[in-house]
Structure 1
Amino acid sequence: MAVFLCQNDPGTCEEWDHHAAGGNRAYAFTGALTPAAVPVEGETQLGAVTALRADPDGGPAPERALGRLGGEPGRLQGDETPHCPSCAAPMTFTAQLEEGADHTTSAKFGGGGRGYVFACRPCGEAALLWQC
């Protein structure tokens, strides 16, 4: 799964739209992926590193993890589960993303918000939305 989030000034991306028109996108991949080569020149270090932890029982994520894989989403608002654009079935919750502790490197989910990744495995579709 690859997740992309528009980080431009608020309002310049339609980041609330979880499908093609929005600034957020998620892509599901099957098979093996090959990591990209590290560039020879330029900045190659991340400003911060965060982690997701598996959450099979739906309980709270470990304190140091900034999200969870599987389980149930800890929604901040009502259920906004997207429907697959290919088959129209409700998509399956896959991961929850937290903003992060350092404002200079954190994802921008509206100030204290959370990102939610969904997938439709039969169709190979994925979606990212957030709530605050």
Structure 2
Amino acid sequence: MQFLAQILLDGLGRPAGEADTQADRVMAIFMCQNDPGLCDEWSPTAGGNRALLYPSDALRPMAAPVPDGDEDVLRLGAVNAVTLVSSPAADYSEAREEWGNRSGNSPRNVLGQLGGQPDWLQGDETPACATCTQPMILVAQLEEGPDHTTAMNFGGGTAFAFACGPCAQGAFLWQC
């Protein structure tokens, strides 16, 4: 599986006053890249992707590998970071357009949202937690990205990461 993203869970998407059961966790998102489209990676339960929750206090930075005469060992293919921008817009689509107009950038440069409500491309597919059967909370909505050479492959669509804080369960799916 290919690593796609790591997200610190810090109370995203919970109503005011609800217990903060996710603040000490990190979500790591992975998706099958063997013959894309053949792993059922669009499904949150078919095994073609995983959203794993880890305690954040157990994470440590990895030491840089020691080169063995080959400096390419220290190079990564493509690594991206994002800037978090808040928007007063009522929904995700409106926020993308508003940001594009305000910044002079293409809305395609928006790589997603943290928390909030999913902007489904098809019908609502909010997963239920496998442990408690309650609907999971949106952690992040991810776009493929503006550059096809570094884009995540969601079939031209959008991906959604969900978590159930009390059960420490995660789910990941995409729609196109």
Distance 1:54 1:72 in 2: 16
What letter matches 2:163 in structure 1? A
Q: Which has the larger radius of gyration?
A: 2
The residue type equivalent to 1:97 in the other structure is L
Structure 1 counterpart of 2:53: 28
Percent identical residues: 49
Over aligned residue pairs, what C-alpha RMSD do you find? 2.2
Amino acid of the structure 2 residue aligned with 1:44 = R
Classify the secondary structure of the residue corresponding to 2:127: coil
- 2-structure distance, mates of 1:36, 1:8: 26
Q: Count how many residue pairs are aligned between Structure 1 and Structure 2.
A: 130
> Structure 2 regions of 5+ residues with no counterpart?
1-26, 68-72, 100-106
Which residue identity is paired with 2:142? L
The residue number in structure 1 matching 2:64 is: 38
Q: TM-score, normalised by structure 1?
A: 0.84
Structure 1 contact 118–126 (Cα < 8 Å) conserved:
yes
Distance 1:22 1:54 in 2: 33
CA–CA distance in structure 2, aligned partners of residues 37 and 85 of structure 1: 35
Matched, 1:47 2:103: no
CA distance in 1, matches of 2:76, 2:143: 21
Between 100-109 and 80-89, the greater mean CA deviation after superposition: 100-109
Q: Give distance in 2, aligned partners of 1:30 and 1:6.
A: 24
Contact 2:64–2:74 (8 Å) recurs in 1: no
Higher helix content, 1 or 2: 2
Check conservation: 1:119, 1:127, Cα contact below 8 A.
yes
Structure 1 residue 108 displacement after superposition: 0.4
Local SS of the residue matching 1:18: coil
One of 130, 134, 148 as aligned partner of 1:89: 134
Cα deviation, residue 56, structure 1: 7.8
Task: Tell me how far apart the structure 2 counterparts of residues 128 and 72 of structure 1 sit (CA, whole Å).
Answer: 15
4+ residue runs of structure 1 moved beyond 6 angstroms?
none
- Which consecutive unaligned segments of at least 5 residues does structure 1 have? none
